[in-house]
């Protein structure tokens, strides 16, 4: 399946689409990331999410109480305002906007 199709709309923000889950985890720590993945029911999910504490409302920030599953990636859904998770092997691709000027590594 071509990830640059109209159905998922990833191509509108950038031409560089990543599939590296470790790089996604690092990007989620500092900014909002646009992801596309397949849900358990087979539907495609187009989501914007983060794990950056500064971008998550105060009462919803992760407390680190629950052990993370190696098969699942948890993120704060910035569109729907809640925690979501995805199965790592169902990630189709992701992109992150350019980081703010102070965050760029020259």
Please give the average pLDDT of every successive group of 10 residues along the chain, which has 106 residues.
Answer: 41 59 92 94 95 92 79 94 94 79 50
pLDDT at position 14 is: 42
CATH number of the domain at 75, please. Answer: 2.30.30
Q: Does 3 reside within a domain? A: no
Residue 69's domain comprises 10-98
- Would you state the pLDDT for residue 65? 72
Query: CA triplet 10, 98, 30: central angle to 5 degrees?
Result: 100
Give the separation between CA 17 and CA 84, rounded to whole angstroms: 21
32 located within any domain: yes
CA-to-CA distance for 22 and 4, rounded, in angstroms? 21
């Amino acid at each position: 399946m071509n990830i640059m199709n109209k159905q998922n709309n990833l191509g509108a923000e950038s031409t560089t689409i990543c599939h590296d889950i470790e790089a996604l985890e690092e990007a989620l720590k500092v900014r909002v990331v646009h992801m596309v993945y397949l849900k358990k029911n087979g539907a495609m999910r187009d989501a914007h999410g983060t794990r950056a504490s500064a971008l998550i409302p105060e009462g919803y920030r992760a407390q680190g109480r629950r052990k993370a599953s190696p098969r699942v990636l948890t993120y704060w859904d910035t569109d729907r305002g809640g925690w979501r998770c995805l199965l790592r092997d169902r990630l189709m691709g992701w992109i992150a906007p350019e980081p703010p000027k102070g965050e760029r590594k020259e």
